[in-house]
């Protein structure tokens, strides 16, 4: 099946080298955390909304209906229990990510991060890049965790350029040059 995947774009993917949020995960994996996640979180939507706002570098760039869309995803019965299950297996899942990387390292991948991402540490991109033998790194300046919502046109341009060309380099408009750090690939990597 792996030969069917020609290229991948990973936008700030959760990875074993990001320590962001680990204290929160540890707290929510406790018995008290389970009570909060499964039974109380839906009663305190302002906490979720604060967390959501922190995902953006500039809250002014949040589309007006964005939070409502994410909130609707939690309206389904059992959603908060599902979130609890994700938190419960978080550490093991991250270990599995590290274990399977050698299986996919030959697939060309663009590792795309916002420099002001507070959900997944942008510095972890370098370690992920080191483990993903055929990858390129690209950091979007002044952007948080949600580049596809913060600057959708630029995000789409970068993603399409990577997916439709043989090189991860992205030709940028002159006025956009300050918005992005160009992709870098370690020497010897394709």
The domain locations on the chain are: 2-17+103-184, 22-88
Architecture of domain 2-17+103-184: 3-Layer(aba) Sandwich (3.40)
The phi, psi pair for 134, rounded to 5°, reads -120, 60
CB atoms within 10 A of CB 170: 20
Q: Is 142 left (phi over 0), alpha (psi -120 to 50) or beta?
A: left
pLDDT of residue 190: 39
pLDDT at 189 over 80: no
**Helices 90-104 and 79-88, packing angle to 10 deg:** 70
Could you tell me where the DSSP H helices lie in the chain? 22-28, 31-35, 45-54, 66-72, 79-88, 90-104, 124-131, 147-150, 152-164
Per-residue pLDDT at 121: 95
* CA pair distance 184, 126, nearest whole angstrom: 10
Q: What is the pLDDT of the chain when averaged over all its residues?
A: 85
Least confidently predicted of 17-21, 110-114, 143-147: 17-21
Report pLDDT digits (tens) over 149-166: 999 999 999 999 999 885
Q: Which of 189, 182, 188, 190 is nearest to 137 (CA)?
A: 182
- The pLDDT confidence band at residue 81, using thresholds 50, 70 and 90, is very high
Give the pLDDT of residue 179: 47
For the segment 62-91, the average pLDDT, to the nearest whole number, is: 90
Q: How many angstroms separate the CA atoms of 82 and 88, rounded?
A: 10
Average pLDDT over residues 82-90: 93
pLDDT at residue 139, rounded to an integer: 96
What is this structure's pTM?
Answer: 0.78
Between 181 and 112, where is the model more confident? 112
CA distance 54 to 119: 8
User: Rounded to an integer, what distance in angstroms lies between the CA atom of residue 105 and that of residue 8?
Assistant: 11
Find the mean pLDDT for residues 39-57.
Answer: 87
If DSSP codes are grouped into helix, strand and coil, which group holds residue 113?
Answer: strand
The 10s digit of each residue's pLDDT in 13-46 is 999 999 988 888 999 999 999 998 998 888 888 8
CA gap 33, 134 in Å, rounded: 39
Query: Cα–Cα distance between 152 and 97 in angstroms, integer?
Result: 28
pLDDT of amino acid 32? 92
| 126, 109, 104, 6 alpha-carbon torsion, rounded to 10° | -170
Predicted pLDDT of residue 59: 87
């Amino acid at each position: 099946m792996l030969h069917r995947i020609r290229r991948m774009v990973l936008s700030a993917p959760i990875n074993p080298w990001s320590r962001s949020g680990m204290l929160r995960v540890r707290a929510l994996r406790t018995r008290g955390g389970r009570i909060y996640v499964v039974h109380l979180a839906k009663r305190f939507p302002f906490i979720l909304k604060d967390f959501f706002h922190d995902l953006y570098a500039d809250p002014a760039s949040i589309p007006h209906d964005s939070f409502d869309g994410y909130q609707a995803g939690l309206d389904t019965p059992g959603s908060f229990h599902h979130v609890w299950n994700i938190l419960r297996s978080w550490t093991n899942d991250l270990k599995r990510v590290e274990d399977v990387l050698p299986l996919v390292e030959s697939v060309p991948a663009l590792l795309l991060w916002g420099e002001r991402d507070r959900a997944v540490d942008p510095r972890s991109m370098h370690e992920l890049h080191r483990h993903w033998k055929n990858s390129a790194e690209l950091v979007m300046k002044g952007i948080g965790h949600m580049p596809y919502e913060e600057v959708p046109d630029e995000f789409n341009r970068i993603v399409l350029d990577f997916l439709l060309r043989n090189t991860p380099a992205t030709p940028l408009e002159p006025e956009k040059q300050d918005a992005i750090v160009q992709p870098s690939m370690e020497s010897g990597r394709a």
